[in-house]
Structures are given as structure tokens and as C-alpha cells.
A and B are shown apart, each in its own frame.
Chain A
Amino acid sequence: MSPVIVTRELSRTFRTYRKPEGLLNSVRYFFKRDWQDKVALAPTSLEIGGGQIVGLVGANGAGKTTLLKLLCGLIHASAGDARVLGHDPAARSPELLRRISILLGQKAQLWWDLPAADSFDLLARIYDLDLAAAKRRVAELADLMQCTSLLETQLRRLSLGERMKMEIIGALLHKPAVLFLDEPTIGLDIVAQSTIRKFLATYVEQEKPTVILTSHYMDDISLLADRLLLISHGRIVYDGTVEGFTARTVTRQRVTLKLGEPAGSDHDLGGGQVLSRGAEIFSGDYPAAEVAKVLERVMQVARITDVKIEETDFEDVIRTFLEAETPRNPATAASPVVG
């Protein structure tokens, strides 16, 4: 089966200018701008097959959204080319646009002034769908996401989580073959995140679109993605499975222990760890497998009244991975790590 998405040395450079703060600099830079080129996406070649669910992960400013925007034709490439379902996305052919959809987290694409139901009616006309069939599909999707009662409320009056549900319905109304999800759960509360994740998991299972998903939440990726692309400074540095990535990185947790009374003296806990004299709080980042040993060592020398264990921030997981990859010179790295 031919790939659905193909890029060949696709890259994008943005031109920006810097301006130091202050009124004098504003006047000075009014006449002469200090332009700089920023490579948002380095030449990237990849192929994505039909039905694949690809998690695109990276730190802020890594190039995830730039890649997504290039693939759905929002922006033109500086060099290289891309093909989505056989079409050049930048050409915006109606045949392609009717088969793709993009969902931008926290960005409204439905019409702010209208109830969602009116927006869906307009979308049905834009995508040349049968109106009755579109209405049934809206009812079906709204029922799955338990938001039927919100269809007749102006979008501006809905909460963020409620709006995102409407945006998802709008994005899926025309049954796209390729779905671009840019941080679909960002800013949502835990319940809304869970609802949307479960819905998307069910949807991709049933409809089998090709999905490109970017997210900072590992839960989004681990639940949905069967392929992981890690992008850093505009380059893909890992291309493989989620399990392969997890196996390569050591999951860490932040442990914070509140002591019953200040430590009476310095205690060497072994492995380079020290509980300092007078400390009332002990904290540190440890590999998940070692957390129990750390607790045991501290309990041997102090009384613990409160324990907090947190997953290390995903950005730290990526940083850890990148630090492990540092011996590979990024300037000459021609291909990503494949897992």
C-alpha cells in the first residue's frame, strides 16, 4: 500500500527580527530591522502509511506544529516537497481538503457567534455533505461525547472543554482520511482530557484514519499512537514505537518527603544522596525503580509524615533522551534513531 504522507527534504525557515526593549531601541529599529533566519524545520524526509497513528513529540519550539502546518497546507515550505494523499498540500486542492482535517488545541475553528449546530450545518455545505446525513452524524458524535445538550448554545458561552468537544465534532463531520491533531487536550481539565482521549481512541479504532498527533501529554501519545516521532530543534531525532522510546529512556519520578522533625545530623544515604542536618524536607529525582529504596533509606534515619511522588515532567524525559543522544553530532546527524 502506498504511503499516505510523503515528504522529501521538507524544510521551513522563518524570518524574524529582534528588537531590544525600550523606546530608544523602538525608534532605532524602526529604521533598520535586525532580521534573523530561524530554521523551524530542518530538511525532513518521512513516509506515513495509511491507518497509522503517529505521535509527534517535542519540546516547545521544536517544530511539531510547523511540520503539521506544512502537511495540511497552511504554510508553504522553504524547500523540499510534501505529498498528502497524492496532492501537494500547499496547492489546497478541494479534493485533498475534503479528505483532511486539522484540530488545533485551544483554537476555535467553529463560528464564535453561533450555536455549534449552525456551524455544523455550514460545514456540511462546505464539505458538500448530505444535510440529513450530516445531522445524524452530529447527533451520533455528540452522543458519544455526551454533549448533545450543548449543540444549541453559542460557542462563545461554552467552557474550553465543551468547545473542544464541538471542535472535534466539526473536525470529524466529513470523515477525514487524514486527521491532524495539534495538542487536542491542552488546557483541559483531567475529566475532559480523559473523555476526549477515550473518544479519539474509539474513533480511530472504528474509522481507521491516518492520524498525526502532537501533544505534551504522554497519556495522549501512549493511548493513541503506534508510532512515535521525536522532534528536537527542527530535526526528527527518534522514529519508532512508543515502547521502543520508553525502553530507551529511564522513567524518573520526583520524590518529596516531609520529615516529622528536622534531621539531627547529616546522614549519608548511599549512592551520593545526603540528608542534610536541619532539613525538614527531602526531595530529588530518581529512576522509578529506585524510589522504594530511597524511601527505605530515609525511613531508616528519619520519621516521615508526608510522601509525594510525581511523574517527572515529559520535557525532562525528552531532555534525558536528548542528553543520552548528545555524543551523536546533531549538525551531521543525517538520520534519526530508529526504535
Chain B
Amino acid sequence: MLETRSRAASLRGLWRRSVGSARLAVLSQFEYRFNLIADTVIQPVLTAVVEVALWWALFWSIGTAAGLAAGEATLGGFGRDYYLSYALWAAFFSRIYASWMYEFRMTEEIDTGAVNSILVRPLGFYEYYLAQFMAYKVMTAAITLSVWLVFTQFFDSQTIFSRLPLALALAFFHLFLVHTISFCIASCAFFYNRVHSFTVAKNISLWMLSGELFPLDLMPEPLRSILINLPFACGVYVPVGYVTGRFGAERVWSGFLSIAIGLVVFGLLASVLWNAGRRRYTGQGA
């Protein structure tokens, strides 16, 4: 009975801390208004414009080379309009999984010793930043989605809107994995101090592995099957493919499973790195 009460109190405490940390993230974003607008509107719009332009140009070239109109050319069995839709929604979902800002902060805090303010409090570093990260993403995704929904009214985006909720659920579940990977990288700061280059390398890798750069089914086998079944594809390729009708819900449910497996793997790594790093930590500079 005591253990149950203690567990309930512990969960209640976790909820309160998470709500507090989430609130902190939202309040902080509202302090810097221009940055919020740039992050939720300007950046995703620019990304969409660049990617749409890229695919438009590509199909124009393919069409010209094959003596076809750009709209008649196909690539991997899909036409230009499909790829333009993919690019549009890839720009939206890629903004959700991007974690460099919070990863940078976590790394800097460990490097500079500012993490002390977390270590002396009954608050986990992982949970603290997870709550902030999720709150920030919910807020910014809601703003960006409202802009995207307006965009899609002006041209045929081949979007199945009824599929958006499940796609978003997958994208947000994927964020737990993204955060865990960020936590692993940040923990490396205990050993190497400056690890921003790890973040850059990870981001470049995810740019391809997530399907943000191009749809993963353009890859040759067996690479295609491997990449699609990795959890990283759930960042962009799976939710975008589902929303644009490329495949059905079975791919999404596989995505949930692969993320869960990824969480176990990276969670173990995170735990090892953090505990080893804490033993080395000198707290100097703070």
C-alpha cells in the first residue's frame, strides 16, 4: 500500500515537474517574438520553397531529356505533383523532428557547468529537456500546421487530411527517440566538452535517413528496405508517405514498433553515457 502511494506520489511529482518544464519552454518562446515567428513560419516556408523548387527543376530536366512535358515524367513510379506534395509536407514534418536547438543547449550546459542548477535539484536532466522539447514542438507545430493548411487550399497537394492525426502521432512519438539521441550526444560533452560537430554529423545523417532529402523508396534494394524499417524514417518519410497516400497505416504501425525498439537501444546507451559522464564530471567553470 505504501509502495503504491509512493509510486503515485512519484508519478504526480513527475507530472508536476514536466508541466513546469513545458510551461517554461512556452513562456521562453513568447519572450523572443521574432525568433518564434522565424522558427514557425519563415524557416519552414523557406524549406518548402527550396525543396519544391528542387523537385520542380528535377522534373523539368527529366521531362526535357525524355521529350515529355514535366507533368508527364515519372520517377520511381510517381509523378511530379506527388513529389511536390512530398516536398511540401517533408518541410513541415522535418521542422517537427529538428532538435539541434535543445541539443545545443544541453551540450552547452554540460560543457560550461551550468548543468549544476539541474543536478542540485530533484529534477532529471533527461525529463527536464524532454518536457521542454515536447512543449516547444507542440506549440510550433500547431502554428506551422495552420500555415500549411492555408497553403494546401491553393493547389492540389494530394493530401489525405483524415490521415494527419495518426501521422502527427507518429511524428511526436518519434520525438522521444530524437530526444534520446540528443541526450546521448550531450552526454558526450562530459568526455569531450565541445561536441557540436557530433550534432552536425547526426543532422546530416538524419537528413537522409529520415527521408527529408528525398523519398527513401528511391534507394536501391536492399538499402531501401533497411532504411524504411529503421526508426529514423518515421521522422519524415513514413508520416509524409502516409498523408500523401504513398502507403497505408500498416507502415505507420511498423514505425511505432521500430521507434520503440530504437528507444530501448538508445535509452541504454544514454544511461551508460550519462552515468559514466557524471563520474567524470568536474563542475569546473561553475
A interface with B by C-beta (< 8 Å): 14, 69, 72-76, 92, 94, 97-98, 100-102, 104, 107-111, 113-114, 118, 121-128, 154
Contact = CB atoms under 8 A, between A and B. Distances in A.
Interface string B1-44: 00000000000110011011101100110011000000000000
B50 to A, nearest CB: 31
Contact of A74 (B16, B116, B122): B116
Given A69-B283, A75-B282, A127-B122, A113 B116 contact: no
Nearest to B279: A76
A97 B13 CA distance: 14
Given A74-B116, A114-B28, A126 B17 contact: yes
B28 A73 contact: no
Given A76-B279, A121-B23, A125-B16, 18 more contacts: A74-B120, A74-B281, A101-B120, A104-B116, A104-B286, A109-B116, A109-B117, A113-B27, A113-B28, A113-B31, A114-B31, A122-B23, A124-B20, A125-B17, A126-B122, A127-B121, A128-B12, A128-B122
B256 to A, nearest CB: 30
B218 to A, nearest CB: 42
A107 B114 CA distance: 8
Given A76-B281, A113-B31, A154-B31, A107 B122 contact: no
| Among all A-B residue pairs, the 10 with the closest Cβ atoms | A125-B20, A109-B117, A97-B122, A94-B122, A122-B20, A125-B16, A113-B28, A74-B283, A102-B120, A128-B13
Interface string B70-103: 0000000000000000000000000000000000
Contacts of B283: 69, 74-75
Interface in B32-61: 32
Contacts of A121: 20, 23
Nearest to A167: B117
A267 B218 CA distance: 98
B119 A126 contact: no
B123 interface: yes
A164 B201 CA distance: 40
Given A97-B120, A128-B13, A154-B31, A75 B20 contact: no
A125 B20 CA distance: 6
A98 to B, nearest CB: 5
Contact of A73 (B119, B123, B279): B119
Contacts of B279: 76
A314 to B, nearest CB: 24
Contacts of B17: 125-126
Contact of B122 (A76, A98, A102, A113): A98
Given A98-B122, A128-B13, A154-B31, A111 B282 contact: no
Interface of B is mostly: helix
Contacts, number: 74
A126 B120 contact: no
A73 B120 contact: yes
A118 B24 CA distance: 8
B120 A111 contact: no
Given A76-B279, A122-B24, A107 B120 contact: no
Contacts of B21: 122
B246 interface: no
B224 interface: no
Contact of A113 (B20, B32, B282): B32
Given A69-B283, A125-B20, A114 B27 contact: yes
10 contacts: A69-B283, A72-B120, A100-B120, A108-B117, A113-B31, A114-B28, A121-B20, A126-B20, A127-B121, A154-B31
A144 to B, nearest CB: 23
Contact of B16 (A69, A100, A110, A128): A128
B202 interface: no
A164 to B, nearest CB: 15
A92 B116 CA distance: 12
Nearest to B115: A74
B12 to A, nearest CB: 8
Contacts of A69: 283
B28 A111 contact: yes
Interface string B268-286: 0000000000110111101
Contacts of A124: 20
